Structure 1
Amino acid sequence: MHGSKLNQEATNTYSQSYSAKIAEEFFSQNDSISGQQIISITPVKQVNFFILKALFDEWQDEIKKFRSPYFDYKNEDVNQALKAFINTLSKHIQIDKEHFQPLLEKSVKATLELLYDPASYYTKELSKTASVDKSRELKASSKYIKLHKALFEDLWSRLNQGNDLQSAIQSALASYTDSNQEIEHITELFNSTLPLNVTDKQVDPEQFPMPEPLDTLEEIETVAPEESTSQDEINDEFEPVEKEELEAESHSINQQYKGDIKTLNQRYEEKEKAKTVAAALETKSLSNLKNNININQRYMFVNDLFEGHDKDYEIAMDQVEDCDSFDSSVELLVQNYAKKYDWDMNSDEVKELLKVIFKRFR
């Protein structure tokens, strides 16, 4: 983008070197990496979420292996046993350096491709399966996409309207005005670890130190969603999520909540009413807030909103659980946590948290 062409040789070399450096720094002090640590392993959020995506893709492939024509997987006892197994796995994500570094390298390459050549990225991603419902396939990955969000939404909308993959991608790119600021910011984040130069011209591979060769890799361990309490909860990890509206202007916390707190409640009421019937069913009341926050959401809330302070997050969720209304829960968060951690109230993370809390009081 910006007239730049992604150099594949330079991208491969950079991804190897960057991954080797990150892995070396982390595993020099740790024997393995947990799910909680993955979400902040690099300064580039997109890389971290692509690692999670790779893990959940592996989980999907592995869970299919449990299916067999010789056993009744619809049986209630079998379902309950499978749920218990999945819940146990989700709490024990643990990957050593040998198995983690290839995942990291793959995620760095995917991030650079999405950043500079989204047409190639989406073509590859949506061509992996034989599914004709490309819009559903794309929407299922929305929770992992952190770059070029407007392009993603436009592409999904065109696919949802029945356009074929290539014409949808070309049309979406033609109408998309990419963000110089976003690309520059991500470039700076990469540069903070290793200088990034993967576009326009051939880059000398000797510019980057090559990682030590790895031994033959064994199959990656399976990973599952955290704390699912029903089959719907398990499936929800890979179901499309509802499109979130983006606001053009950003405001400070004081400006955002100046005046009656009911203004926020009214705004969410209007959004909920505008959703489709399917989305409305998705927003049914939650009987237990924390148990209905999936692993990706929890990672995002703890790290992006509570700066990695698990204890504050747990206390906040318990306090919200005890509130008697959406208004009072939002006021509690604003007074006790939004100011403390300097939240951007228009950020995707805050909107996602408020969306979950809103469901709690419907």
Structure 2
Amino acid sequence: MSNKFNASSLSEYCKSYARKVAGEFFAHHTVISGQELLKLSAVSQVNLFVISALSEKWRSDAERFRSPYFDFEHPDVRQAMQVFMNTVSQHISVRREHLEPLLAEATRRTLVLLYDPRYYFDDMLRNQSDFSLSAETAHQLTRYTQINKFVPAAIEERMKGKSSVYVNQALNWLDEILMQRGRELEKPDKYIPLFSEKVLLDPGVLLRKASYETVPPPTLSTPNKSFFDTEIETAVPSAQLVATPTSEFEPVINEAPSSSGTGGRTLFLDDSGPAAEPSSPSMQPSQMPTPSTDVSTLEATPQAEETAGPVTIGETFYRAPIESISKSISLNQKFMFINQLFNGSAASYNEAIEDLDHATSYEQARDLVTNRYSAQYSWDMKSDEVNMLIDILKRRFA
């Protein structure tokens, strides 16, 4: 969770806002439709996050419908499934008890995006599966983002021609974008009146004191199209749906420029939602007597070895090539790696070692360590544990 917020105050505000907005709507309705969701809150970003959560559910349900006993890739089946899913999407119907949690979460995400955009995008990137960002996911992130949209759009632009990149690379781009274009970040103050229409939003209560002081100043488509295959013209607080054609089985919402001056909005309904950021590992001083060495210095030259004196029998054994990384790691080393490098997670350790064992070269394995795991688990690349792992990789690919 972003450390700019008072966690309890943020949670309480989001629940209160969701309760107020939902209460006013459901006082006169039993269920809410897709078009009504797009106009529910005066803050359009909140509505879009709710729609994205519904779309994720829509897609996951479609995946569970698949069966290993039938050919779901057959053209006839694909076409029938597309018509079926599109028809279902045209009949969104959500009851209050199901909407309120989605609305509270959408409000939380919107406030974090406003007051701590660096944390918001960092959290979205770090929680990608396999710690890699695909071009499709980057495109979806751009389409779903209305507030500070230039950030994911710039990341997507840098990915042109790449099917995916390590999240570590995307995080570096994020730092560069915010450094170069930080002045373009939207001012939270203009959204305070919009939220306060329902529940008074007081940043002095919502944010920690130090953080607050540093805050910078419908027409339905035909059944052959998905509800999500539409264009939205956003105007605070309402929006209108217009059908737009699509050639793929993917729910898409394009948001045209609005009169409110927010610019063009393009939305893709497949957002994974926020997840908990991987906790930093406990990097306690290791008991290993080996001095810390920068990974860049691990490539010892023959000349350096010659001047280091004669190699002992023990050193010769330690440097001997190995066939398997997992089998060469002693029990003590395994426990040390799990605790010091993988946050105490044996499952994460096993998955990483398996990936490293399947690498085809030292360069590929080293790339996994430096560009994936080091960022994912916040490794100190000069630590004894990391150096020990690098030494094992050298032996594996010697």
* Equivalent runs, 1:76-225 vs 2, <5 Å: 76-126=75-125, 127-130=127-130, 132-158=132-158, 164-179=169-184, 182-196=187-201, 197=203, 198-201=206-209
Q: Within 2, Cα distance between the matches of 1:131 and 1:181? A: 28
Q: CA deviation at 1:62?
A: 1.4
Q: Within 2, Cα distance between the matches of 1:153 and 1:201? A: 32
How many residue pairs align between the two structures? 235
- Alpha-carbon distance change, 111 to 346 in structure 1, aligned in 2, over 3 angstroms: closer
- TM-score normalised by structure 2 residue count: 0.51
Q: CA deviation at 1:157?
A: 3.5
Give the aligned residue type for 1:138. Answer: A
- Alpha-carbon distance change, 43 to 344 in structure 1, aligned in 2, over 3 angstroms: closer
Q: CA deviation at 1:195?
A: 1.5
Give the aligned residue type for 2:31. Answer: S
- The 8 Å contact of residues 15 and 109 in structure 1, kept in 2 or not, is answered as yes
Aligned to 2:264: 348
Bigger share in strand: 2
Q: CA deviation at 1:181?
A: 6.0
Higher relative contact order (CA 8 A, sep 6+): 1
Aligned to 1:238: none
CA deviation profile, 1:7-45 (whole Å, cap 9, x unmatched)? 322211111111011111111111010001000101000
Q: Within 2, Cα distance between the matches of 1:101 and 1:346? A: 27
Question: 3-state SS of the aligned residue for 1:57?
Answer: helix
Q: Within 1, Cα distance between the matches of 2:43 and 2:181? A: 23
Question: 3-state SS of the aligned residue for 1:133?
Answer: strand
Aligned to 1:71: 70
Larger radius of gyration: 2
- Alpha-carbon distance change, 171 to 46 in structure 1, aligned in 2, over 3 angstroms: same
Q: Within 2, Cα distance between the matches of 1:195 and 1:346? A: 24
- The 8 Å contact of residues 133 and 170 in structure 2, kept in 1 or not, is answered as no
Structure 1 unaligned runs (5+)?
203-224, 235-293, 318-341, 353-362
CA deviation profile, 1:281-330 (whole Å, cap 9, x unmatched)? xxxxxxxxxxxxx63643x23x649x7678xx79xx9xxxxxxxxxxxxx
CA deviation profile, 1:168-198 (whole Å, cap 9, x unmatched)? 2222222222457642212221122212132
Structure 2 unaligned runs (5+)?
211-219, 245-257, 268-398
Give the aligned residue type for 1:195. Answer: L
- TM-score normalised by structure 1 residue count: 0.56
Identity %: 27
RMSD: 3.6
Bigger share in helix: 1
Q: Within 2, Cα distance between the matches of 1:103 and 1:27? A: 15
- Aligned mate of 1:295, from 228, 239, 244: 228
**170-179 or 83-92: which moved more?**
170-179
- Alpha-carbon distance change, 228 to 169 in structure 1, aligned in 2, over 3 angstroms: farther
